Amino acid sequence: MNQHIRHFITYLKLEKHYSANTLKSYSHDLHQVETFVSEFLDTKDINWTLVNKNAIRQFLMYLQEMGISRRTVGRKLASL
C-alpha cells in the first residue's frame, strides 16, 4: 500500500473515527485512482502533487465509461 494512502487511512480511522466499511471503500478508491493515474502519467511511483484537474477528469471519464453509478463516483471523488 502506498505510504500516503496508508497514512491518510490511518488519519481517517484515528482522528475522524470513520467506520471500517468507509475505510475499506476509501482505501479501495484511492488505490484505483493510484493505478489509473500511474498509467495516465506513465509512471510507477506516483507523486500526488502531479495529480491535477486533468488527471481527475480523465479518471471520472474512465469511471463513466465503465458504467459506475453516480453515487459510487461521488464517493470516489470524496475520497480524494
Q: What is the pLDDT along the chain (80 residues), one digit of tens a residue?
A: 588 899 999 999 999 999 999 999 999 999 999 999 888 888 888 888 878 899 999 999 999 999 999 999 999 999 98
Helix (H) or strand (E) run with residue 47 in it: none
pLDDT at position 21 is: 96
pLDDT at position 45 is: 81
CA separation for the pair 40, 20 (Å, rounded)? 30
* Reported pTM: 0.86
CA distances to 22, 29, 65 from 13, in Å: 9, 16, 32
Per domain, the residue ranges of the chain are: 3-79
Tell me: the pLDDT tens digits for 64-77?
A: 999 999 999 999 99
Question: Which of 37, 63, 59, 60 lies closest to 50, judged by CA?
Answer: 37
pLDDT at position 42 is: 85
| Burial 12-24, CB ≥16 within 10 A → b, else e | beeeeebeeebbe
CATH architecture of the domain 3-79 equals Orthogonal Bundle (1.10)
pLDDT at position 1 is: 56
Q: H-type helices in the chain, by residue range?
A: 3-14, 20-40, 53-65, 70-79
